[in-house]
Chain A
Amino acid sequence: MTAQMTSDAISISDEEKEILQEIMNIAFGKAAADLAEVISIFVRLSVPEIAMVQVIDLPAYLRSEVSCCEPISIIEQNFWGEFKGSAFLVFKSGAEKELISLLDSGGEASFESESLEILERETLMEVGNILIGACVGKVAELLKDVVTYSPPRVIIEDNPDHAIPESLLDPSLTAIILKTVFCFHERDVNGLLFLVTSQESVAWLKNALFEFMEQYECA
Protein backbone atom coordinates (compact mmCIF):
# COMPACT_ATOMS: atom_id res chain seq x y z
CA MET A 1 0.00 0.00 0.00
CA THR A 2 2.91 2.25 0.68
CA ALA A 3 4.05 2.42 -2.89
CA GLN A 4 0.77 3.97 -3.92
CA MET A 5 0.91 6.60 -1.25
CA THR A 6 0.95 10.06 -2.66
CA SER A 7 3.45 12.53 -1.41
CA ASP A 8 0.87 14.48 0.56
CA ALA A 9 0.16 11.37 2.66
CA ILE A 10 3.51 12.02 4.32
CA SER A 11 2.78 15.50 5.42
CA ILE A 12 2.95 15.61 9.15
CA SER A 13 1.29 18.60 10.68
CA ASP A 14 3.22 20.99 12.86
CA GLU A 15 1.28 19.72 15.82
CA GLU A 16 2.19 16.11 15.07
CA LYS A 17 5.78 17.16 14.65
CA GLU A 18 5.69 18.72 18.08
CA ILE A 19 4.20 15.60 19.62
CA LEU A 20 6.84 13.47 17.96
CA GLN A 21 9.54 15.76 19.22
CA GLU A 22 8.11 15.53 22.71
CA ILE A 23 7.98 11.74 22.51
CA MET A 24 11.60 11.63 21.37
CA ASN A 25 12.53 13.92 24.18
CA ILE A 26 10.87 11.73 26.79
CA ALA A 27 12.23 8.57 25.18
CA PHE A 28 15.80 9.85 25.03
CA GLY A 29 15.58 11.12 28.59
CA LYS A 30 14.47 7.68 29.74
CA ALA A 31 17.10 6.01 27.61
CA ALA A 32 19.84 8.17 29.15
CA ALA A 33 18.56 7.51 32.67
CA ASP A 34 18.40 3.75 32.09
CA LEU A 35 21.84 3.68 30.46
CA ALA A 36 23.28 5.35 33.55
CA GLU A 37 21.39 3.17 35.99
CA VAL A 38 21.64 -0.18 34.28
CA ILE A 39 25.07 -0.17 32.70
CA SER A 40 26.77 2.96 34.05
CA ILE A 41 27.08 4.66 30.70
CA PHE A 42 26.53 8.36 31.25
CA VAL A 43 25.33 10.10 28.17
CA ARG A 44 23.55 13.37 27.48
CA LEU A 45 21.17 13.58 24.53
CA SER A 46 20.07 16.91 23.13
CA VAL A 47 16.48 17.82 22.28
CA PRO A 48 15.91 16.05 18.99
CA GLU A 49 15.34 17.90 15.74
CA ILE A 50 12.94 16.58 13.15
CA ALA A 51 13.46 16.93 9.43
CA MET A 52 11.71 15.57 6.37
CA VAL A 53 13.92 14.62 3.46
CA GLN A 54 13.35 12.71 0.24
CA VAL A 55 15.05 9.32 0.58
CA ILE A 56 16.97 10.03 -2.59
CA ASP A 57 18.45 13.13 -0.95
CA LEU A 58 19.41 11.33 2.26
CA PRO A 59 23.10 10.84 1.45
CA ALA A 60 23.46 14.53 0.62
CA TYR A 61 21.60 15.46 3.81
CA LEU A 62 23.81 13.22 5.97
CA ARG A 63 26.91 14.54 4.25
CA SER A 64 26.03 18.12 4.93
CA GLU A 65 25.13 17.30 8.54
CA VAL A 66 28.44 15.62 9.30
CA SER A 67 30.73 17.77 7.18
CA CYS A 68 31.90 19.50 10.35
CA CYS A 69 33.67 16.50 11.76
CA GLU A 70 35.14 14.53 8.89
CA PRO A 71 36.64 11.96 8.74
CA ILE A 72 33.92 10.04 10.47
CA SER A 73 32.94 6.58 11.62
CA ILE A 74 29.33 5.58 11.14
CA ILE A 75 27.58 2.75 12.91
CA GLU A 76 24.47 1.69 11.14
CA GLN A 77 21.72 -0.54 12.47
CA ASN A 78 18.31 -1.32 11.06
CA PHE A 79 15.25 -1.77 13.22
CA TRP A 80 11.97 -3.45 12.44
CA GLY A 81 8.62 -3.04 14.07
CA GLU A 82 5.64 -0.93 13.17
CA PHE A 83 8.23 1.77 13.69
CA LYS A 84 10.96 0.75 11.27
CA GLY A 85 13.96 2.27 9.62
CA SER A 86 17.68 2.78 10.09
CA ALA A 87 19.69 4.33 12.85
CA PHE A 88 23.01 6.02 12.17
CA LEU A 89 25.42 6.89 14.91
CA VAL A 90 28.13 9.23 13.71
CA PHE A 91 31.43 9.75 15.52
CA LYS A 92 34.47 11.67 14.52
CA SER A 93 37.17 9.18 13.51
CA GLY A 94 39.39 8.38 16.44
CA ALA A 95 36.54 8.46 18.95
CA GLU A 96 36.76 4.69 19.20
CA LYS A 97 40.03 5.02 21.09
CA GLU A 98 38.27 7.09 23.73
CA LEU A 99 35.25 4.77 23.76
CA ILE A 100 37.29 1.69 24.65
CA SER A 101 37.74 3.08 28.15
CA LEU A 102 34.00 3.71 28.37
CA LEU A 103 33.30 0.01 28.38
CA ASP A 104 34.76 -1.67 31.41
CA SER A 105 36.22 -4.82 29.98
CA GLY A 106 37.27 -6.03 33.42
CA GLY A 107 40.68 -7.40 32.55
CA GLU A 108 39.30 -8.86 29.36
CA ALA A 109 41.57 -6.55 27.44
CA SER A 110 44.17 -9.19 26.69
CA PHE A 111 43.14 -9.85 23.12
CA GLU A 112 46.78 -10.65 22.31
CA SER A 113 46.13 -11.96 18.86
CA GLU A 114 43.72 -9.22 17.96
CA SER A 115 44.77 -6.07 16.29
CA LEU A 116 43.75 -2.84 17.90
CA GLU A 117 41.77 -2.15 14.78
CA ILE A 118 39.39 -5.05 15.47
CA LEU A 119 39.03 -4.06 19.11
CA GLU A 120 38.17 -0.49 18.12
CA ARG A 121 35.65 -1.67 15.55
CA GLU A 122 33.99 -3.97 18.03
CA THR A 123 33.88 -1.18 20.58
CA LEU A 124 32.15 1.08 18.08
CA MET A 125 29.64 -1.65 17.37
CA GLU A 126 28.92 -2.35 21.01
CA VAL A 127 28.52 1.30 21.91
CA GLY A 128 26.36 1.77 18.82
CA ASN A 129 24.26 -1.28 19.58
CA ILE A 130 23.63 -0.16 23.15
CA LEU A 131 22.91 3.51 22.35
CA ILE A 132 20.72 2.83 19.34
CA GLY A 133 18.91 0.00 21.13
CA ALA A 134 18.20 2.17 24.14
CA CYS A 135 16.92 5.14 22.12
CA VAL A 136 14.90 3.22 19.54
CA GLY A 137 13.61 0.83 22.18
CA LYS A 138 12.29 3.66 24.34
CA VAL A 139 10.57 5.40 21.43
CA ALA A 140 8.96 2.09 20.49
CA GLU A 141 7.98 1.42 24.07
CA LEU A 142 6.22 4.80 24.40
CA LEU A 143 4.37 4.12 21.19
CA LYS A 144 3.49 0.58 22.33
CA ASP A 145 5.56 -1.07 19.65
CA VAL A 146 8.14 -3.88 19.76
CA VAL A 147 11.18 -3.72 17.49
CA THR A 148 13.93 -6.12 16.51
CA TYR A 149 17.35 -5.16 15.21
CA SER A 150 19.87 -6.18 12.61
CA PRO A 151 23.46 -6.57 13.79
CA PRO A 152 25.25 -3.21 13.79
CA ARG A 153 27.60 -2.42 10.94
CA VAL A 154 30.56 -0.07 11.08
CA ILE A 155 31.27 2.09 8.11
CA ILE A 156 34.65 3.69 8.54
CA GLU A 157 35.04 6.08 5.70
CA ASP A 158 34.34 9.65 4.96
CA ASN A 159 31.75 9.00 2.32
CA PRO A 160 28.30 8.57 3.87
CA ASP A 161 26.84 7.82 0.44
CA HIS A 162 27.31 4.13 1.06
CA ALA A 163 25.73 4.31 4.47
CA ILE A 164 22.17 4.13 3.24
CA PRO A 165 20.92 0.60 2.79
CA GLU A 166 19.18 0.77 -0.55
CA SER A 167 16.90 -2.16 0.06
CA LEU A 168 15.45 -0.69 3.21
CA LEU A 169 14.05 2.56 1.97
CA ASP A 170 12.20 3.14 -1.25
CA PRO A 171 13.95 6.07 -2.97
CA SER A 172 10.63 7.49 -4.10
CA LEU A 173 9.54 7.96 -0.49
CA THR A 174 10.08 10.65 2.06
CA ALA A 175 12.07 9.93 5.18
CA ILE A 176 11.50 11.40 8.59
CA ILE A 177 14.82 12.14 10.25
CA LEU A 178 15.19 12.50 13.96
CA LYS A 179 18.53 14.01 14.81
CA THR A 180 20.08 14.33 18.22
CA VAL A 181 23.49 15.31 19.48
CA PHE A 182 24.89 13.20 22.29
CA CYS A 183 27.94 13.40 24.48
CA PHE A 184 29.41 11.21 27.17
CA HIS A 185 29.98 12.72 30.59
CA GLU A 186 33.57 13.44 31.52
CA ARG A 187 34.77 12.24 28.16
CA ASP A 188 35.70 14.16 25.13
CA VAL A 189 33.43 12.20 22.83
CA ASN A 190 30.33 13.39 21.14
CA GLY A 191 28.45 12.49 18.06
CA LEU A 192 25.19 12.52 16.18
CA LEU A 193 22.36 10.04 16.19
CA PHE A 194 20.00 9.93 13.24
CA LEU A 195 16.88 7.82 13.22
CA VAL A 196 15.60 7.57 9.70
CA THR A 197 12.14 6.16 9.28
CA SER A 198 10.27 5.83 6.04
CA GLN A 199 6.89 6.92 4.88
CA GLU A 200 5.71 3.37 5.48
CA SER A 201 5.79 4.02 9.19
CA VAL A 202 3.98 7.31 8.96
CA ALA A 203 0.38 6.10 8.98
CA TRP A 204 1.14 3.99 12.00
CA LEU A 205 3.15 6.78 13.58
CA LYS A 206 0.32 9.30 13.23
CA ASN A 207 -2.02 6.85 14.90
CA ALA A 208 0.43 6.07 17.66
CA LEU A 209 1.01 9.78 18.28
CA PHE A 210 -2.73 10.28 18.50
CA GLU A 211 -3.09 7.46 21.04
CA PHE A 212 -0.14 8.75 22.97
CA MET A 213 -1.77 12.17 23.35
CA GLU A 214 -5.11 10.64 24.15
CA GLN A 215 -3.85 9.05 27.33
CA TYR A 216 -2.98 12.53 28.60
CA GLU A 217 -6.20 14.07 27.47
CA CYS A 218 -8.18 11.39 29.28
CA ALA A 219 -6.18 11.85 32.43
Chain B
Amino acid sequence: MNALEQIFGTVNIGLVIMDKELKVTHWNRWMFLHSGIAAEQIVGSSIFDHFPDLNSPKFTRNCKAVLAFGNFSFFSQKLHHFLFPFKPVGSFGAKFEHMQQSCTMGPLRGDDNSVNSIFVIVQDVTELAVYEQKLMEMNVRDGLTGIYNRRHFESRLKEECERHRRYNRKLSMIMFDIDFFKKVNDTYGHQCGDHVLKGVSSGIASIIRKTDCLARYGGEEFCCLLPETELGPATMLAERFRAHVMEMILLYQETEVRVTISLGVSEFQEDDSPEMLLKRADNALYDAKRTGRNKVVAL
Protein backbone atom coordinates (compact mmCIF):
# COMPACT_ATOMS: atom_id res chain seq x y z
CA MET B 1 0.00 0.00 0.00
CA ASN B 2 1.42 3.38 -0.85
CA ALA B 3 1.25 6.35 1.49
CA LEU B 4 -1.82 7.92 -0.12
CA GLU B 5 -3.72 4.63 0.06
CA GLN B 6 -2.87 4.33 3.73
CA ILE B 7 -4.14 7.84 4.40
CA PHE B 8 -7.26 7.11 2.37
CA GLY B 9 -7.88 4.11 4.62
CA THR B 10 -7.22 5.71 7.98
CA VAL B 11 -8.36 9.32 7.69
CA ASN B 12 -11.22 10.27 10.00
CA ILE B 13 -13.63 11.37 7.28
CA GLY B 14 -15.66 9.45 4.74
CA LEU B 15 -14.23 9.24 1.22
CA VAL B 16 -16.06 7.79 -1.73
CA ILE B 17 -15.14 7.82 -5.40
CA MET B 18 -17.68 7.05 -8.11
CA ASP B 19 -17.32 6.73 -11.86
CA LYS B 20 -19.48 8.52 -14.43
CA GLU B 21 -22.29 5.96 -14.01
CA LEU B 22 -22.17 6.61 -10.25
CA LYS B 23 -20.74 3.15 -9.58
CA VAL B 24 -18.51 3.11 -6.52
CA THR B 25 -14.82 2.63 -7.27
CA HIS B 26 -13.37 3.53 -3.87
CA TRP B 27 -14.91 3.29 -0.40
CA ASN B 28 -12.70 4.05 2.56
CA ARG B 29 -12.66 2.39 5.95
CA TRP B 30 -14.52 5.27 7.61
CA MET B 31 -17.45 4.63 5.26
CA PHE B 32 -17.28 0.92 6.12
CA LEU B 33 -17.21 1.61 9.85
CA HIS B 34 -20.32 3.79 9.74
CA SER B 35 -22.34 1.96 7.10
CA GLY B 36 -21.38 -1.63 7.87
CA ILE B 37 -20.91 -2.08 4.12
CA ALA B 38 -17.44 -3.33 3.25
CA ALA B 39 -15.57 -1.99 0.25
CA GLU B 40 -15.70 -5.43 -1.39
CA GLN B 41 -19.47 -5.39 -1.19
CA ILE B 42 -20.04 -1.97 -2.69
CA VAL B 43 -17.20 -1.42 -5.16
CA GLY B 44 -18.47 -2.05 -8.66
CA SER B 45 -22.13 -1.46 -7.82
CA SER B 46 -24.21 1.68 -8.20
CA ILE B 47 -24.33 3.91 -5.14
CA PHE B 48 -28.13 3.84 -5.45
CA ASP B 49 -28.20 0.03 -4.96
CA HIS B 50 -27.08 0.56 -1.40
CA PHE B 51 -28.47 4.04 -0.77
CA PRO B 52 -31.71 4.34 -2.76
CA ASP B 53 -32.66 7.57 -0.95
CA LEU B 54 -29.71 9.33 -2.59
CA ASN B 55 -31.51 9.03 -5.91
CA SER B 56 -33.09 12.47 -5.55
CA PRO B 57 -33.18 15.29 -8.11
CA LYS B 58 -30.85 17.39 -5.99
CA PHE B 59 -28.19 14.69 -5.71
CA THR B 60 -28.27 13.65 -9.36
CA ARG B 61 -28.35 17.30 -10.50
CA ASN B 62 -25.20 17.98 -8.52
CA CYS B 63 -23.50 14.82 -9.82
CA LYS B 64 -24.27 15.97 -13.36
CA ALA B 65 -22.92 19.44 -12.65
CA VAL B 66 -19.70 17.90 -11.32
CA LEU B 67 -19.31 15.68 -14.37
CA ALA B 68 -20.31 18.27 -16.96
CA PHE B 69 -18.71 21.43 -15.57
CA GLY B 70 -16.12 20.18 -13.12
CA ASN B 71 -18.20 21.96 -10.46
CA PHE B 72 -17.88 21.37 -6.77
CA SER B 73 -21.10 20.79 -4.83
CA PHE B 74 -21.70 21.39 -1.20
CA PHE B 75 -24.34 19.63 0.86
CA SER B 76 -24.64 21.58 4.07
CA GLN B 77 -25.77 20.02 7.30
CA LYS B 78 -28.24 22.89 7.78
CA LEU B 79 -30.43 21.94 4.89
CA HIS B 80 -29.64 18.31 4.13
CA HIS B 81 -28.65 16.99 7.57
CA PHE B 82 -26.93 14.05 5.89
CA LEU B 83 -26.33 12.27 2.60
CA PHE B 84 -25.65 8.83 4.04
CA PRO B 85 -28.08 7.65 6.74
CA PHE B 86 -25.60 6.58 9.43
CA LYS B 87 -26.19 6.23 13.15
CA PRO B 88 -24.78 9.05 15.26
CA VAL B 89 -21.62 8.12 17.13
CA GLY B 90 -21.55 8.64 20.88
CA SER B 91 -24.32 10.07 22.98
CA PHE B 92 -25.98 12.26 20.37
CA GLY B 93 -28.64 9.70 19.51
CA ALA B 94 -31.14 11.41 21.76
CA LYS B 95 -30.92 14.63 19.75
CA PHE B 96 -30.47 13.27 16.25
CA GLU B 97 -31.63 10.05 14.72
CA HIS B 98 -28.90 10.27 12.08
CA MET B 99 -25.29 11.40 12.02
CA GLN B 100 -25.26 15.03 10.85
CA GLN B 101 -23.00 15.43 7.85
CA SER B 102 -21.43 18.16 5.85
CA CYS B 103 -20.56 16.79 2.43
CA THR B 104 -18.53 18.04 -0.50
CA MET B 105 -18.54 16.62 -3.97
CA GLY B 106 -16.08 17.39 -6.72
CA PRO B 107 -14.48 16.21 -9.94
CA LEU B 108 -11.49 13.95 -10.45
CA ARG B 109 -9.68 14.38 -13.75
CA GLY B 110 -7.73 12.03 -15.96
CA ASP B 111 -4.45 12.80 -17.70
CA ASP B 112 -6.23 14.75 -20.44
CA ASN B 113 -7.88 16.96 -17.80
CA SER B 114 -11.35 15.67 -18.55
CA VAL B 115 -13.55 14.74 -15.61
CA ASN B 116 -13.81 10.96 -15.28
CA SER B 117 -15.04 10.46 -11.75
CA ILE B 118 -16.61 12.12 -8.71
CA PHE B 119 -15.33 12.17 -5.17
CA VAL B 120 -17.52 12.66 -2.12
CA ILE B 121 -16.14 13.81 1.22
CA VAL B 122 -18.33 13.11 4.26
CA GLN B 123 -17.67 14.95 7.51
CA ASP B 124 -19.39 14.06 10.77
CA VAL B 125 -20.62 17.38 12.23
CA THR B 126 -23.12 15.93 14.72
CA GLU B 127 -21.31 17.36 17.72
CA LEU B 128 -21.32 20.84 16.22
CA ALA B 129 -24.98 20.55 15.31
CA VAL B 130 -25.82 19.53 18.88
CA TYR B 131 -23.94 22.52 20.29
CA GLU B 132 -25.59 24.82 17.81
CA GLN B 133 -29.00 23.51 18.76
CA LYS B 134 -28.21 24.01 22.44
CA LEU B 135 -27.01 27.54 21.84
CA MET B 136 -30.11 28.34 19.81
CA GLU B 137 -32.29 27.01 22.62
CA MET B 138 -30.42 29.00 25.25
CA ASN B 139 -30.76 32.07 23.11
CA VAL B 140 -34.55 31.95 23.01
CA ARG B 141 -35.47 30.35 26.34
CA ASP B 142 -35.70 31.68 29.86
CA GLY B 143 -33.24 29.77 32.03
CA LEU B 144 -35.53 29.35 35.03
CA THR B 145 -38.93 28.56 33.55
CA GLY B 146 -38.00 27.07 30.18
CA ILE B 147 -40.57 29.20 28.35
CA TYR B 148 -39.42 31.80 25.80
CA ASN B 149 -37.37 34.76 26.96
CA ARG B 150 -38.05 38.43 26.40
CA ARG B 151 -35.62 38.73 23.49
CA HIS B 152 -37.36 35.97 21.55
CA PHE B 153 -40.77 37.37 22.45
CA GLU B 154 -39.87 40.79 21.12
CA SER B 155 -38.63 39.45 17.81
CA ARG B 156 -41.74 37.25 17.46
CA LEU B 157 -43.91 40.26 18.28
CA LYS B 158 -42.24 42.25 15.52
CA GLU B 159 -42.67 39.39 13.03
CA GLU B 160 -46.31 38.84 13.91
CA CYS B 161 -47.12 42.57 13.68
CA GLU B 162 -45.46 42.60 10.27
CA ARG B 163 -47.57 39.62 9.22
CA HIS B 164 -50.70 41.26 10.57
CA ARG B 165 -49.99 44.36 8.53
CA ARG B 166 -49.22 42.47 5.32
CA TYR B 167 -51.99 39.91 5.38
CA ASN B 168 -54.45 41.68 7.64
CA ARG B 169 -54.52 38.87 10.19
CA LYS B 170 -55.83 39.10 13.72
CA LEU B 171 -53.39 39.34 16.58
CA SER B 172 -53.90 39.66 20.33
CA MET B 173 -51.79 39.68 23.43
CA ILE B 174 -52.22 38.75 27.06
CA MET B 175 -49.93 40.28 29.64
CA PHE B 176 -50.13 38.98 33.20
CA ASP B 177 -48.28 38.94 36.46
CA ILE B 178 -48.48 37.09 39.74
CA ASP B 179 -50.36 38.95 42.46
CA PHE B 180 -48.43 39.76 45.61
CA PHE B 181 -45.41 37.87 44.36
CA LYS B 182 -43.15 39.77 46.74
CA LYS B 183 -45.16 38.29 49.61
CA VAL B 184 -44.46 34.77 48.34
CA ASN B 185 -40.74 35.52 48.31
CA ASP B 186 -40.81 37.18 51.72
CA THR B 187 -42.88 34.42 53.35
CA TYR B 188 -41.41 31.25 51.86
CA GLY B 189 -38.06 32.39 50.46
CA HIS B 190 -36.78 32.99 46.93
CA GLN B 191 -36.46 29.27 46.13
CA CYS B 192 -40.17 28.98 46.67
CA GLY B 193 -40.68 32.06 44.50
CA ASP B 194 -38.77 30.34 41.72
CA HIS B 195 -40.86 27.23 42.21
CA VAL B 196 -44.04 29.32 41.81
CA LEU B 197 -42.71 30.98 38.63
CA LYS B 198 -41.96 27.56 37.16
CA GLY B 199 -45.32 26.15 38.22
CA VAL B 200 -47.34 29.06 36.81
CA SER B 201 -45.47 29.10 33.49
CA SER B 202 -45.68 25.36 32.92
CA GLY B 203 -49.36 25.44 33.89
CA ILE B 204 -50.13 28.15 31.35
CA ALA B 205 -47.86 26.57 28.73
CA SER B 206 -49.95 23.40 28.97
CA ILE B 207 -53.17 25.13 27.91
CA ILE B 208 -52.03 27.29 24.97
CA ARG B 209 -51.74 26.40 21.29
CA LYS B 210 -48.45 25.53 19.64
CA THR B 211 -48.58 28.74 17.62
CA ASP B 212 -48.97 30.96 20.68
CA CYS B 213 -45.84 32.43 22.13
CA LEU B 214 -45.58 32.44 25.94
CA ALA B 215 -42.63 34.30 27.39
CA ARG B 216 -41.30 35.51 30.71
CA TYR B 217 -41.21 39.24 30.17
CA GLY B 218 -39.76 40.41 33.47
CA GLY B 219 -39.42 39.13 37.05
CA GLU B 220 -42.95 37.83 37.66
CA GLU B 221 -44.41 39.28 34.49
CA PHE B 222 -45.43 37.16 31.50
CA CYS B 223 -46.63 37.82 27.97
CA CYS B 224 -48.52 35.57 25.63
CA LEU B 225 -48.85 36.43 21.97
CA LEU B 226 -51.88 34.99 20.21
CA PRO B 227 -51.74 34.96 16.41
CA GLU B 228 -55.01 34.67 14.48
CA THR B 229 -56.98 35.64 17.58
CA GLU B 230 -59.44 38.49 18.15
CA LEU B 231 -59.94 40.36 21.39
CA GLY B 232 -63.06 38.36 22.43
CA PRO B 233 -61.50 34.87 22.29
CA ALA B 234 -58.25 36.28 23.70
CA THR B 235 -60.16 37.60 26.70
CA MET B 236 -61.86 34.22 27.18
CA LEU B 237 -58.47 32.54 27.08
CA ALA B 238 -57.13 35.03 29.61
CA GLU B 239 -60.05 34.11 31.86
CA ARG B 240 -59.04 30.44 31.51
CA PHE B 241 -55.47 31.37 32.49
CA ARG B 242 -56.80 33.13 35.57
CA ALA B 243 -59.05 30.25 36.64
CA HIS B 244 -56.33 27.69 35.94
CA VAL B 245 -53.76 29.45 38.12
CA MET B 246 -56.26 30.10 40.87
CA GLU B 247 -56.99 26.38 41.11
CA MET B 248 -53.35 25.39 41.06
CA ILE B 249 -51.84 24.05 44.28
CA LEU B 250 -48.08 24.43 44.18
CA LEU B 251 -46.37 22.16 46.67
CA TYR B 252 -43.14 23.55 48.01
CA GLN B 253 -41.41 21.42 50.66
CA GLU B 254 -44.75 20.11 51.84
CA THR B 255 -46.21 23.60 52.02
CA GLU B 256 -49.20 24.32 49.81
CA VAL B 257 -48.73 27.60 48.00
CA ARG B 258 -51.56 29.24 46.10
CA VAL B 259 -51.29 32.32 43.93
CA THR B 260 -53.50 34.34 41.61
CA ILE B 261 -52.71 36.38 38.53
CA SER B 262 -53.96 39.65 37.05
CA LEU B 263 -54.24 39.95 33.30
CA GLY B 264 -54.45 42.62 30.61
CA VAL B 265 -55.58 41.85 27.05
CA SER B 266 -55.11 43.90 23.89
CA GLU B 267 -55.72 43.45 20.19
CA PHE B 268 -53.62 44.78 17.33
CA GLN B 269 -55.29 47.79 15.72
CA GLU B 270 -54.64 49.20 12.32
CA ASP B 271 -51.56 51.45 12.33
CA ASP B 272 -50.42 50.01 15.64
CA SER B 273 -46.78 49.48 16.38
CA PRO B 274 -45.58 46.47 18.41
CA GLU B 275 -44.89 48.89 21.27
CA MET B 276 -48.47 50.20 21.19
CA LEU B 277 -49.91 46.69 21.40
CA LEU B 278 -47.64 45.97 24.33
CA LYS B 279 -48.45 49.28 25.99
CA ARG B 280 -52.21 48.69 25.80
CA ALA B 281 -51.86 45.22 27.32
CA ASP B 282 -49.71 46.74 30.05
CA ASN B 283 -52.30 49.47 30.72
CA ALA B 284 -55.04 46.83 30.89
CA LEU B 285 -52.94 44.82 33.33
CA TYR B 286 -52.44 47.93 35.43
CA ASP B 287 -56.22 48.47 35.50
CA ALA B 288 -56.72 44.85 36.59
CA LYS B 289 -54.26 45.38 39.42
CA ARG B 290 -55.75 48.66 40.44
CA THR B 291 -59.32 47.39 40.50
CA GLY B 292 -58.82 44.38 42.73
CA ARG B 293 -56.40 41.82 41.16
CA ASN B 294 -57.14 38.20 40.19
CA LYS B 295 -59.09 39.51 37.20
CA VAL B 296 -58.96 40.13 33.46
CA VAL B 297 -59.20 43.56 31.83
CA ALA B 298 -59.38 43.95 28.04
CA LEU B 299 -58.59 47.21 26.29
Query: Which residues of A are in contact with B by a Cβ distance under 8 Å?
Result: 31, 34, 38-39, 103-106, 108, 111, 114, 118-119, 122, 125-126, 129-130, 133-134, 137-138, 140-141, 144, 146-149, 151-152
Pairs of residues from A and B, 8 with the lowest C-beta to C-beta distance, nearest first: A133-B71, A106-B57, A137-B69, A122-B79, A38-B68, A149-B72, A104-B57, A134-B69
Residue from the list A104, A106, A125, A133 in contact with B65, Cβ < 8 A:
A133
- B53-68 vs A, Cβ < 8 Å mask (1 yes, 0 no): 0001110011011001
- Measured between beta carbons, the chain A residues less than 8 angstroms from B64 are 38-39
Given contacts A106-B58, A129-B71, A129-B73, contact A146 B109 (CB under 8 A): yes
* Chain A min CB distance to B199 (Å): 30
A129 touches B61 (CB 8 A): no
Contact, CB under 8 Å: B69 / A133: yes
Considering the chains assembled together, what is the distance between the CA atoms of A137 and B106 in angstroms? 13
Q: List, in ascending order, chain A residues with CB within 8 A of B76's CB.
A: 122, 125
**Closest beta carbon of chain B to A183's beta carbon, Å:** 20
In the complex, which residue of chain B has the Cβ closest to the Cβ of A104?
Answer: B57
Are A118 and B57 in touch, CB under 8 angstroms? no
Q: Does B78 contact A (CB under 8 A)?
A: yes
Please tell me if B74 contacts chain A, counting CB pairs below 8 Å.
Answer: yes
**Distance, CA A104 to CA B58, complexed state (A):** 7
Asked if A122 and B78 make an inter-chain contact with CB atoms under 8 angstroms apart, the answer reads: yes
- Given the known interface contacts A38-B64, A39-B64, A133-B69, the answer about A111 and B79 at a Cβ–Cβ threshold of 8 Å is yes
Instruction: Name which residue of chain A comes closest to B109, CB basis.
Output: A146
Complex formed: what's the CA distance from A111 to B78 in Å? 10
Contact (Cβ within 8 A) B70 A146: yes
CA distance A175 to B256 in the complex (A): 76
Report Cα–Cα, A148/B79, bound state, in Å.
Answer: 23
**Bound-complex Cα distance A105 to B61 (A):** 10
B56 touches A34 (CB 8 A): no
B211 CB–A CB distance under 8 Å? no
- With both chains docked as a complex, state the minimum distance between the C-beta of B63 and any C-beta of chain A, in angstroms: 10
What residues on B are CB-neighbors of A39 within 8 Å?
A: 61, 64-65, 68
Name which of B64, B71, B76, B109 has the most chain A CB atoms within 10 A of its CB: B71
On whether the beta carbons of B57 and A105 are closer than 8 Å, the reply is yes
B91 within 8 A of A: no
For B73, list chain A residues within 8 Å (CB): 129
CA distance A119 to B70 in the complex (A): 25
Which listed residue (A34, A140, A144, A146) contacts B68, Cβ 8 A? A34
A196 to B68: give the CA distance in the assembly, Å.
23
Distance from A16 Cβ to chain B, minimum over Cβ atoms (Å): 24
Other-chain residue from B58, B65, B104 in contact with A108 (beta carbon distance below 8 A): B58
Contact with B72, one of A38, A133, A140 (Cβ below 8 angstroms):
A133
> Inside 8 A of A146's CB, which chain B residues have their CB?
70, 109, 113
A103 touches B61 (CB 8 A): yes
Contacts of B70 in A (CB 8 A): 133, 137, 140-141, 146-147
